[in-house]
Structure formats: C-alpha cells, structure tokens
Amino acid sequence: MKIVILTSILLVVSTYSFAQNEVVVEVPKGTSKIILTNDLNKEENFKHVIDMLLEQSHFIASKDSEFGTIKTEARPIKGLNCLYYFSIRIKDQTIIISGSFKLNMIITIGMVGSTGEYTDISNKGMKGSPFRKSFEIMHEFSKKLKYSQVKYEPL
C-alpha cells in the first residue's frame, strides 16, 4: 500500500515538474494583429518572412520591399468551406501579421445572389469556427518566425 501511495505522489510531482518547463502565453480575445520583435533589419526580416511563407507553401500575391508589405494568395482552411490570406507589414526589427478570411458560400434569395466578403482574422468565436481556425493558422505561422518578443493587439 505504501508503495502505491509513494508511486502516485512521485508521478504527480514529476508530471507537475515537467509541465512547468513549457510557458503557455494565452492570446487575448479579440486579437487581430500579432507583432513580433527581433534583431533583424527591414531587409533581413523581409527575406526571412518570404522564405518562411514559401516554405509553408503559401503563394505570394503581392510584395513591396520598399514599403515592407507582403500579401499572400487566398488558401482554403482545412475542414471548413473558407479561404484566408495574410497581410504582413515589415519594419526594422518588427513584423506585423494580420489577415482576412471569407466563407465560400453564395446566399440566394429569389433571383439575387450574394457571396461572402472578407472579414478580419480575429481571436474570437467558438472552437472550430472560421474566426478561431483562421486565427490559429495565423498564430502557428507567427511562431515559425524569428522573434524575441511577441505582442498581441486588437484591430
């Protein structure tokens, strides 16, 4: 009996110890911009972001190195009938990531049809919703970039 209790205590303590090593930062609700700070200049950041986008199979819709802007082509969200794209602004030591998504559906009333419009990606909605899913994709992409500090802002 003592061995079972001792083993249980040891298991709980070791699990708690390992869990402390990973720092989990909760992203505030309503966040629509992810701002990354690093030690790279504008040109290095621009090249780094382009390389990472291409590595992640994103296609570049437009880019302007003078103004430090990149926009990706729309991509589908797996499991949802939605498209999303990123809009990225690059400055010295700063990368600002935002984006938009839209539902791929046509609403028809009588003879009039309407397609969805792009909406800003934001950390809101229920798990699995287009808002949440598109933000998770944007957030996961941001984690792949070089940064020393991250800041979350509402639009």
| d(C-alpha 133, C-alpha 98), whole Å | 14
**What's the rounded mean pLDDT across residues 119-130?**
93
- The CB density around residue 151, as the number of other CB atoms within 10 Å, is 13
Considering only 71-80, 91-100, 113-122, 139-148, which range has the smallest mean pLDDT? 113-122
| d(C-alpha 145, C-alpha 67), whole Å | 20
- Pull the structure tokens for residue 155: 């639009």
Which CATH topology does 28-154 take?
Answer: Alpha-D-Glucose-1,6-Bisphosphate; Chain A, domain 4 (3.30.530)
What pLDDT score was predicted for residue 15?
A: 47
User: Looking at beta carbons, which pairs linking 124-127 to residues 24 or more positions away fall under 8 Å?
Assistant: 124/29, 124/30
Residues 6+ apart with CB under 8 A from 78: none
What pLDDT score was predicted for residue 19?
A: 42
Per residue in 3-55, pLDDT tens? 655 455 555 545 444 443 344 568 999 999 999 999 999 999 999 999 999 99
- Pull the structure tokens for residue 27: 């992203």
Nearest alpha carbon to residue 124 among 142, 109, 136, 140? 136
